[in-house]
Structure 1
Amino acid sequence: MAAEFDVVIKGGHIVGYDRIERMDIGIAGGVITCIQETIAESARMEIDARGQVAVPGMIDVHVHLNEPGLGNWEGIPSGSAALAAGGCTTYFDMPLNCLPPTTTVAALKEKLELAKQRSCIDYAFWGGLVPGNVEQLAPLAEAGVIGFKAFLSAAGGKQEGAFREVDDRTLYQGMREIARLGKILALHAESEPIISALAAEKQSKGLVSAKDYLYSRPIYAEFEAVRRALYYAELTGCALHFVHISSPAAVMEIRTAKRAGLNVTLETCPHYLMLTGDAMEEIGALAKCAPPLRTEEELEGLWEAIRQGDIDMISSDHSPCPPELKVSDNWFDIWGGISGAQSSLELFLGEGYVRRDIPLPLLCRMLSTHPARRFGLHSTKGEIRPGADADLAIVDFSAPYVLQKEHLYDRHKHNPYVGKQMECRVKYTLVRGQLVYDWQSGITNPKDGRWLRS
């Protein structure tokens, strides 16, 4: 007799939208077809989840995998493997830190060809808004990008043809066009006039330490950029998504705009919830990012915003680079990016649920459900429910472990959390019912990720 299910997950607890229940999960054809207290029917594969928790697979809307052109910085195979090992089942790759950047349809097609049969998990691609490409936005939308990304400060790439920040005219024109297209604009919100002036002031005096770098990117630079973008959104009707927000002040400004009726969401990242600016001296260059890490007070303020439901989602902003770009006595010259793709879910659930007693359903909505809803994937992604894709992670909260380099799958293993005790562990990751990661045997199905065309 043929098996009724391809996979049955038995004996575990399931995190639903607003509750946790002890249930079995039956999967057939890549879809969750049955959730009930006990499934007795046969299956081709059975996963014993007793004492463990099934959570919706993370949807990481903000990663940089650097292809085409800079695959030696990360690459789709290694980056997607790290995400899979961390319980992520879908990622959105950013249009920068690759050459060419994804600002034309030709560049998007080049990236799509590179992704075919090379990603462990499902994926979508952002298009870019840069000076001179407003006329490219409609063709990119038609070609299937998930949304558009722009920088209000310098994007960091120094290579010829690298991604560039927008001026106010481009921002306004681009937002009008993106509103017309019914898409979302993701924004890196730091004021370039403020941070460039402060950085120049410090460097002119030979002040190039970690603290000098922190001084050059103050919270008011983030706040000013957020407020300016919200005003343009009010004028144009453009839907906004603010990436890697680092301060409670910016969260509250966005919350106010949302309550006033603007179509706006925001994300923060695990590094703003786990590390402070002191880590730049304690850990070193691996902790440099933009916006920079903040104070303990700001960190606690972000956790309170999470409790209150004022932060929509969590992303890794995985931003890797070759090792040599993390070495300099001048902190302004060091590449500003944190490599944490594999650790986001474990860090967030471990700190939020285990240490701070925040309900798992609330945390999982931020990791999965809210991203799926915001970006039009909720018909198949973002929750463990009948009819949805079987995208989930099995997490063991009784198995804390110390993260070591040998656990990591990303190319350069620059994770700033190496040596830290993780309060939970991803044991298995499934994408559309296929086991892609097993904590004992590693990546098990490395080339089956699919493009989620918007």
Structure 2
Amino acid sequence: MSEPSAGGGFDLVIRGGRILTAAGIGPGEVGIRDGRFAAVEPLGAGLRGKDTIELDPGETLIPGLVDTHVHVNEPGRTEWEGFASATRAAAAGGVTTILDMPLNSIPPTVNLAALAEKRAAAAGQTFVDVGFWGGAVPGNLGDLRPLHEAGVFGFKCFLLHSGVDEFPPLEADEMEKDLAELKTFDSLMIVHAEDARAIDDAPHAEGDRYARFLASRPRGAENLAIAEVIERARRTGARAHILHLSSSDALPMIAVAKRDGVRLTVETCPHYLTLQAEDIPDGATAFKCCPPIREASNRELLWKGLEDGIIECIVSDHSPSTPDLKDLENGDFGVAWGGVASLQLGLPLVWTEARRRGIGLEKVVDWMSRGPAELARLARKGRLAPGYDADFSVFAADEGFVVDAYKLHHKNPVTPYQGKALAGVVRRTFVRGREIDGRQPAGRLLRRGEA
């Protein structure tokens, strides 16, 4: 299939036996013109371009992944991660678009001035396309519409302490007022859903025992908060999204809410799908994240939630910090930063686990590309089809590697996946038809409605 004007003279043509389109994986030829896919034809169509790429038999052309949950931390905490390092890592992992979270940078993205600072910090140093979420915090109700009009893709809130004092949580009634405001311009509220009171009543997390940390963030805290989000979204009619679902207990009520017409979407993350509490050593604070990595039985049900369509997408929740903040020497889960760094590794992590379960690469890419793109209403991202941005990577699905944190592009070499054997290597990544070389930043800063 081609655009009506696509007759020939493409800037780039790619051909091979494994092209992933909406029809599945099969032989084909792809023509790119002016940074967009202009033709997708059967192999042998004879498309011609200024440049041509012939895929090796073991390579698959896949649409670029979209990661809507990334903490870049610049400005203010650039030593944790910055736009150059984060987007270089994204590209190396086949991710061609990221949306940056509004907290952990200073200032947080809760008003127009902060958004301007964020964009200024990012300008000229992004290797992939970057958009921004706004933040919903106590007292900034009047900032929501201006931020929306300035191009943020939606708004994040917490229902408990966020981990940084400059981004305070909302009470449920405040969240409902913000949801009602977002409904007036059809924006999206994305929610870190853990109930503060339930966590206050749980055991404290100090010490090196992972089991104690897990008990400090019980499933019930997630379940209560998700129920609250569902009811407030039901009352207001606004769009709401559950971030980083880790509690499989919540899946039935999420499914019922969706059947009832509540405008609710859900994501989960590679660490909840590939790791399990039973295997985490005491003192291994590289594994600490909030909500926590839970038991193997819980993990199995999250996979079922994906296959059943209750969970729409898989995103990284890349939340890095400096090694000292992870308290690696002492291994105290009570004081270590709660976040997993995995932006570069998401695709091979999920693919390794998925193929063990007999799940095809098509589904994995759908969850990690089309799903997040639709969540953020990125109309030209997430598909390999005419009219879409020519964002793609060349993926060797059967090639293996062992994770070495010191060879990743993340700013700090801290990962729970150190030494893990994975399947799937991203060999090349392109944004709008241009190969990312890791030296010349060519990413764009995206605005809602223009992307």
Q: How many residues in Structure 1 have an aligned counterpart in Structure 2? A: 438
**Matching residue's letter, 1:49:** L
| Corresponding residue of 1:440 | none
Q: Which residue of 2 aligns with 1:48?
A: 54
Following superposition of structure 1 onto structure 2, how do residues 66-145 of structure 1 map, counting pairs within 5 Å? 66-145=73-152
Q: CA deviation at 1:13?
A: 1.1
| 1:184-204, Cα deviation, whole Å (9 max, x unpaired) | 00000100111123244x65x
Q: Cα distance 1:275–1:282, how it changes in 2: closer, same or farther (>3 A)? A: farther
Amino acid at match of 2:413: K
Letter in structure 2 aligned against 1:420: K
Q: Does 1:452 align with 2:447?
A: yes
Does residue 191 of structure 2 align to residue 190 of structure 1? no
Please say if 1:33 is aligned against 2:38. Answer: yes
The alignment's TM-score, normalised by the length of structure 2, stands at 0.93
Shift of 1:240: 0.5
Change (3 A) 1:164 1:280: farther
The alpha-carbon distance between structure 1 residues 279 and 444, as it changes in their structure 2 partners (threshold 3 A), is farther
Match of 1:20?
25
- Report 1:304-315 matches (<5 A): 304-315=304-315
RMSD between superposed Cα atoms in Å: 1.7
Task: Measure, in 2, the Cα distance between the counterparts of 1:279 and 1:5.
Answer: 51
Cα distance in structure 1, aligned partners of 2:219 and 2:348 = 28
* 2:5 alignment partner in structure 1: none
Partner of 1:212: 212
Q: What is the distance in 1 between the residues matched to 2:290 and 2:108? A: 19
Structure 2 distance, partners of 1:85, 1:344, is 11
Show CA shifts across 1:401-428 (max 9, x none). 1122343001002122121111111111
Q: Pick from 319, 333, 344: which aligns with 1:342?
A: 344
Unaligned regions of 5+ residues in structure 2, if any?
Answer: 1-7
Instruction: Supply the AA of the counterpart residue of 2:34.
Output: G
In structure 2, give the amino acid aligned to 1:335.
Answer: W
Q: Deviations over 1:213-235 (max 9, x none)?
A: 11011111100100011001111
> How far apart are residue 286 of structure 1 and its match?
0.8
| CA–CA distance in structure 1, aligned partners of residues 416 and 339 of structure 2 | 11
Distance between the aligned counterparts of 1:212 and 1:94, measured in 2?
29
Whole-Å Cα distance in 1 between the matches of residues 99 and 374 of structure 2? 14
SS of the residue corresponding to residue 299 of structure 1 reads helix
Identity %: 36
Matches of residues 341-380 of structure 1 in structure 2 within 5 Å?
341-352=343-354, 354-378=355-379, 380=380
Distance in 2 between residues matched to 1:246 and 1:75, nearest whole Å: 27
Matching residue of 2:386 = 386
Question: Do the aligned partners of residues 283 and 122 (structure 1) sit closer, same or farther apart at CA in structure 2, a change above 3 Å counting?
Answer: farther
Counterpart CA distance in 2 for 1:412 and 1:337 is 13
In structure 2, give the amino acid aligned to 1:319: S
Partner of 1:424, secondary structure, is strand
Structure 1: gaps of 5 or more residues: 438-442
* 2:40 match: secondary structure: strand
CA contact (8 A) 1:17 1:365 kept: no
In 2, the alpha carbon distance for the partners of 1:41 and 1:216 equals 59
Q: Are the equivalent residues in 2 in contact too, given 1:435–1:445 (CA < 8 A)?
A: no
Query: Which moved further from structure 2: 10-19 or 94-103?
Result: 10-19
Deviation at 1:309, TM superposition (A): 2.0
Q: Distance in 2 between matches of 1:124 and 1:270?
A: 21
Q: CA deviation at 1:39?
A: 5.2
Over 3 Å counting, the alpha-carbon distance change for 1:407 and 1:22 in structure 2 is farther
Q: Which range is displaced more, 26-35 or 3-12?
A: 3-12
2:210 and 2:283 in contact (8 A); partners too: no
Task: Tell me the TM-score normalised to structure 1 length.
Answer: 0.93
Partner of 1:401: 401
1:170 and 2:174 correspond:
yes
SS at match of 1:109: helix
CA gap of 1:117–1:186, structure 2 versus 1, over 3 A, is same
Q: CA deviation at 1:349?
A: 2.0
- Measured in 2, the distance between the counterparts of 1:157 and 1:281 equals 27
Q: Tell me the distance in 2 between the aligned counterparts of 1:166 and 1:278.
A: 33
Corresponding residue of 2:269: 269
Encode CA deviations 1:327-361: one digit per residue, 9 max, x unaligned: 14431111000000001112112221x21111332
SS at match of 1:256: helix
CA distance in 2, matches of 1:340, 1:289: 12
In the aligned structure 1, how far is the partner of 2:377 from the partner of 2:297?
35
